[in-house]
């Protein structure tokens, strides 16, 4: 039996690295050959929407080819066995959903959704977005953008996330470099509300806030922690 009652797990790009998807900060500061400011800011989209669309079309295609790995599957299994479990993800791929996670807060949006800058509706994307794509809701041409939270924009679900962090007794961060706020500050919030805090990551990072740091690849350390240390069932 797991000794914790209320679990909050935060994931970042590292959990999907074992499914073959590129992380943001492990490739010499470039993300698939682009500087982040070139493709992941509202200014970038204003300047060159065609480039931003091409970039996210390629990311969407890569995510569709990838499969959830043992770490994604483990978190879905842990959720099923828990009374109170919330998964917060910075990832925009849908590998958690495909592994079976349900109680998921995608704070940086979703690759397979678009948002209309005219009518603000959010719709699923079934084909590549271009500067000519027409909104399925209001029929405006050229008004669709990826439903991704870019640098300089407010992450989604923040009120709910804050409430969860303040009430949890275990906070686990997986595969995230802890460099992008507000997610990087979640450990501090959970800890100041007496949660036990654990980091599972390829490297230790400089974040010394965590009570425990376990290093290794997500597909190995996540199942080892939840099944072997916390006694969840495989």
In the complex, the residues that contact ligand APR under the rule CB under 6 A are 12-14, 17-18, 23-26, 36, 90, 108, 175-177, 179-180, 201-203, 205, 217-218
Which residue, 13 or 104, is less far from ligand APR as judged by CB?
Answer: 13
Between 24 and 45, name the residue whose CB sits nearer to ligand APR.
24
Which residue lies nearer to ligand APR by CB, 8 or 135?
8
Contact 124, 112 (CB under 8 A): yes
214 vs 230: CA distance, rounded Å: 14
Burial of 7 (0-12, 13-18, 19+ CB in 10 A): buried
The 3-state DSSP class for residue 47 equals helix
Question: Least Å distance between CB 119 and ligand APR?
Answer: 25
The least distance separating ligand APR from the CB of residue 179, rounded to whole angstroms, comes to 6
For residue 42, what is the enclosing H or E element? helix 42-47
Comparing CB distances to ligand APR, the nearer of 90 and 135 is: 90
Nearest distance in Å: CB 177, ligand APR: 3
Q: Which of 108, 120, 193, 196 is catalytic?
A: 108
Q: How far is CA 47 from the centre of its chain?
A: 26
- Catalytic residue check, 108: yes
∠ CA 126-129-131, rounded to 5°: 150
Residues assigned a catalytic role: 108
């Amino acid at each position: 039996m797991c000794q914790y009652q209320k679990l909050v797990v935060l994931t970042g790009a590292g959990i999907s690295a074992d499914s073959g998807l590129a992380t943001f900060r492990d490739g010499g500061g470039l993300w698939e050959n682009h500087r982040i400011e070139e493709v992941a800011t509202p200014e970038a989209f204003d300047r060159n929407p065609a480039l931003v669309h091409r970039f996210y079309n390629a990311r969407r295609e890569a995510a569709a080819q990838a499969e959830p790995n043992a770490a994604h599957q483990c978190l879905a299994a842990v959720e099923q066995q828990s009374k109170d479990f919330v998964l917060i993800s910075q990832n925009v791929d849908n590998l958690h959903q495909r592994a079976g996670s349900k109680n998921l807060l995608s704070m940086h949006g979703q690759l397979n959704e678009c948002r209309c800058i005219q009518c603000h509706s959010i719709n699923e994307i079934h084909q590549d977005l271009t500067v000519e794509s027409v909104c399925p809701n209001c029929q405006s041409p050229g008004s669709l953008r990826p439903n991704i939270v870019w640098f300089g924009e407010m992450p989604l679900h923040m009120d709910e996330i804050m409430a969860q962090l303040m009430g949890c007794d275990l906070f686990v961060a997986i595969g995230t470099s802890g460099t992008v706020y507000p997610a990087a500050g979640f450990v501090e919030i959970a800890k100041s509300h007496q949660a036990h805090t654990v980091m599972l990551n390829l490297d230790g990072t400089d974040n010394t806030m965590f009570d425990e740091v376990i290093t290794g690849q997500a597909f190995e350390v996540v199942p080892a922690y939840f099944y072997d240390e916390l006694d969840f069932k495989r």
